Structure 1
Amino acid sequence: MDIRCQINKAWFTGVCLCIAANTPASAGEWSAEMNFDYRYFLKPATVASLAYYQEAGYVTNGLINYPALLAAFGVASSSSISPSIPATPIVNNNPPPGQEEPSVVLKLQYFNEWDNKTKSFTFKPFFRVDNMDDERTHFDIREAVWYGKYGTENHPWEVKLGIDKVFWGTAESHHLDDIINQTDLVEDINFEHKLGQPMARLTLQRDWGTFDFFVLPWFRERTFTGINGRLHPPGLSLATLPVLYESSDGASHVDYAAHWSKTFGRFDVAVSQFIGTNRDPRASNDTNYRTIDNPTGLVLNYDQMEQTGLDLSAIAGDWIFKLEALRRNTNYAHYWAAVAGIEYPFNNIFKTPYDLSAFVEYNYDS
């Protein structure tokens, strides 16, 4: 268990950058945001590393149930993985991490548009410096994308090229269908933060709905907490594990995705298809990778997969009904999962300008 106290101190600035006078693309706008993030953990790492996981049922009789434990960190396990491994002390020559974890985040944004707003360029770099975890100190380009709109008013089509972020889904507790971008897990364990994804995107808007087609030329591995950080399995940093790809192309394997959506009155419907490298790593044992720091030979595998997704939402009065479902096929598993629930908004609570939404959802995984 941990308590996090986050203090955000942000400074926003806007700067006009002159590129060429008297041209449609003569100026762009910069903005900057700096946040101070402070996390405090109730238990020191030397206590929480095994005691917490024992309370959660991952450690019993001195053995770690690694398949169950890795699942808590978003890592699936193959049937060949050792079901239980002796619990050993943390192997780390450095002092154990403390209970206070301050960090500083810098977010920059540049935006420029021209040709009557039919062309634009967006650039959003992200940088965090963490006092405790070297893996959490990282730089990422969240967005660096060129946008162009073409066609006629009745038959428009749009193109995006570069690094971008795309969100699919309608549920709150679990975004099953959100597969385009990789999770930036060093930011938080809620799977909400995403890495920028290189892509080419074509969008068609017609009477029959909106269709998006994606070409994803480069894969990005999931980020994990380092051995000097917090919130990782006892004695093991997933960030240091060897990585294996099912495809011989490795990270350069080209993935493809398509997404169709349309509104029918009070109903919103979306269907998606993804073919490529699974964003969720799978853990397995490989004796060739056994070391002192990794005595079980754990490796992370990124398999090839096909995923079909369905998103539904319906409005009935103030109630919102939601459904997300998927079917995923790999060479190691074939399964389907779903999230269904209802949401009710409370607007202007206590006569204030603030709103509050309450939701109940059920998650199923075959």
Structure 2
Amino acid sequence: MEQRIFLDRPDPLTQPIGNSYPYPVYHQVSVALSPHVEASSQRNNMVYTAHPFLRFDERDSERTHVDFRELKAAVVTKKWQASIGFDQVHWGVMENHHLVDIVNQTDYNESPNGDDKLGQPMFRLGVNIKDALLEAMILIGYREPSTPTPGARFSFGVDYRYEYEGWGEEYHPDLALRYSKKVRNIDVGVGYFGGHSRTPELVTQAVGDPVWKVNLIDQLSVDVKADLNRIELKAEILYKVVGDQSTRAMVLGSEFKLIQNQNISVNLLAEYSWDEHGKNAFDNSFQNDIFAGVRFTLNGLNDSEILIGHNYDFDFGSQHGSVQAKVNVTKALSVGVEGWWFNVSDDDYANKAFNDDNMIQLTGYYNF
């Protein structure tokens, strides 16, 4: 069960959203159910997974939604594994900016941080090659980002229609390949993605409303994490081609283990994000930004965790911060507290809609 409390009055709505969403909204209650069920058969090496997700929101009809995070059948052996159905695949090693994570579409209804993803229909094959993993995925069916109702809290403005580049439109198959290997204390991943971009481009037209254009892209990426005892060094590097334009971007980061004992762990986090297009980058959320944070893990309290982070944009002067805490009172009962605040420049078009959405969120979890 979740209670959101908004601290600021939003800009007046240009048009009413509906009777269930009066102006201004200062609180919002919702409930969610997310069971994860797995069944396996040793006789034929089959594993069946079902992970539906359902949220009901008292005010926002778009935030009330159902999704299959996973719904798949898999064959798993020591040398290879194959699956078909809805699945989730996460690429990358960073805490704040997930630069190379592209396989699944983002569920923005859940949180501004973009960590929650929609399930993606796919055929997935993985082969173990001398302590390395080679994966190939064929993705069928483009999933539009899940977003709140335009004008609602944490929304992105007007909801325009989508146009897709390439044959088959939203059913154009996408291809994802990844090779990952651990060499001593270094984890390395090399990925390729060819297909529809997960970040559609808003294009104005001579006649009619703008449209969200979903471009075909080719993306090469590398992610590295080196464990040097008390410090971890991380990097994600990307080269992307859209039409006749190319983009280079990277995220460099580190995680320092300040305190490590039986009761508490304290890690300091730092990341720097860069995009060669600077202010003109299509997704300018992290084109020249620095992030600093600290993570507390309360080992003596059922591995409860608190993450405090702050992001600053050197180009626009925008900044935002968050506190995310989850206290596991017992194995069955947890309490979450999440807070977000924003101070975003009007030129920072990717994030300025959040300026009035400073928020405190209280969540109660029951694990069964």
The corresponding residue for 2:248 is: 336
* Aligned: 1:125 with 2:52: yes
The corresponding residue for 2:221 is: 309
The answer to whether the Cα contact below 8 Å between 2:47 and 2:76 also exists between their aligned partners in 1 is no
The answer to whether the Cα contact below 8 Å between 1:149 and 1:159 also exists between their aligned partners in 2 is yes
The corresponding residue for 1:191 is: 114
Q: Which amino acid aligns with 1:149?
A: V
Decide whether aligned partners of structure 1 residues 91 and 175 sit closer, same or farther in structure 2, where only a CA change above 3 A counts: same
Describe the superposition over 1:94-152 as per-residue Cα deviations: whole angstroms up to 9, x where unpaired: 432411011000112221001258211000111101112111010001100111024xx
* Cα distance in structure 2, aligned partners of 1:250 and 1:345: 47
* Aligned: 1:172 with 2:95: yes
The corresponding residue for 1:100 is: 27
The corresponding residue for 1:136 is: 63
* Cα distance in structure 2, aligned partners of 1:117 and 1:257: 27
Which of the numbers 209, 212, 221 marks the counterpart of 2:132?
A: 209
Q: Which amino acid aligns with 1:96?
A: Y
* Cα distance in structure 2, aligned partners of 1:268 and 1:335: 25
Please give the root-mean-square deviation of Cα atoms over the aligned residues, in Å. Answer: 1.8
Runs of 4+ deviating beyond 3 Å: 346-349
1:131-280 matches, within 5 Å, as 131-150=58-77, 156-207=79-130, 209-227=132-150, 229-233=152-156, 236-237=157-158, 240-280=159-199
Shift of 1:242: 1.2
1:104-115 matches, within 5 Å, as 104-115=31-42
Q: What's the secondary structure of 2:34's corresponding residue?
A: strand
Describe the superposition over 1:203-248 as per-residue Cα deviations: whole angstroms up to 9, x where unpaired: 1101162100011111101122203520235xx33xx311111123
Shift of 1:277: 0.5
* Cα distance in structure 2, aligned partners of 1:253 and 1:213: 17
Decide whether aligned partners of structure 1 residues 145 and 348 sit closer, same or farther in structure 2, where only a CA change above 3 A counts: same
The answer to whether the Cα contact below 8 Å between 2:17 and 2:152 also exists between their aligned partners in 1 is no
Higher strand proportion, which one?
A: 2
Q: Which amino acid aligns with 1:137?
A: T
Decide whether aligned partners of structure 1 residues 160 and 307 sit closer, same or farther in structure 2, where only a CA change above 3 A counts: same
Q: Which amino acid aligns with 2:123?
A: A
Q: What's the secondary structure of 1:225's corresponding residue?
A: coil
Q: What's the secondary structure of 2:170's corresponding residue?
A: helix
TM-score by length of 2: 0.70
* Aligned: 1:321 with 2:286: no
Shift of 1:158: 0.8
Identity of aligned pairs, percent? 29
The answer to whether the Cα contact below 8 Å between 1:133 and 1:228 also exists between their aligned partners in 2 is no
Decide whether aligned partners of structure 1 residues 332 and 37 sit closer, same or farther in structure 2, where only a CA change above 3 A counts: farther
* Cα distance in structure 2, aligned partners of 1:332 and 1:191: 28
The corresponding residue for 2:268 is: 358
Shift of 1:307: 0.4
Q: Which amino acid aligns with 1:135?
A: E
* Cα distance in structure 2, aligned partners of 1:93 and 1:267: 50
Decide whether aligned partners of structure 1 residues 116 and 347 sit closer, same or farther in structure 2, where only a CA change above 3 A counts: farther
Higher helix proportion, which one?
A: 1
Decide whether aligned partners of structure 1 residues 242 and 342 sit closer, same or farther in structure 2, where only a CA change above 3 A counts: same
Q: What's the secondary structure of 1:251's corresponding residue?
A: helix
Decide whether aligned partners of structure 1 residues 333 and 232 sit closer, same or farther in structure 2, where only a CA change above 3 A counts: farther
* Cα distance in structure 2, aligned partners of 1:248 and 1:114: 40
The corresponding residue for 1:44 is: 9
Q: What's the secondary structure of 1:108's corresponding residue?
A: coil
Describe the superposition over 1:283-337 as per-residue Cα deviations: whole angstroms up to 9, x where unpaired: 1112433xxxxxxx22111110000000111121211000001011112641111
Unmatched segments (≥5 aa) in structure 1: 1-35, 50-88, 290-296
TM-score by length of 1: 0.71
Q: Which amino acid aligns with 1:302?
A: V
* Cα distance in structure 2, aligned partners of 1:144 and 1:332: 37
Shift of 1:171: 1.1
Decide whether aligned partners of structure 1 residues 41 and 254 sit closer, same or farther in structure 2, where only a CA change above 3 A counts: same
Larger-Rg structure = 1
Shift of 1:348: 4.7
The corresponding residue for 1:75 is: none
Shift of 1:161: 0.8
Q: What's the secondary structure of 2:60's corresponding residue?
A: coil
Unmatched segments (≥5 aa) in structure 2: 277-368
* Cα distance in structure 2, aligned partners of 1:229 and 1:104: 18
* Cα distance in structure 1, aligned partners of 2:184 and 2:117: 32
The answer to whether the Cα contact below 8 Å between 2:17 and 2:151 also exists between their aligned partners in 1 is no
The size of the alignment, in residue pairs, is 273
The answer to whether the Cα contact below 8 Å between 1:132 and 1:228 also exists between their aligned partners in 2 is no
* Cα distance in structure 1, aligned partners of 2:111 and 2:229: 35
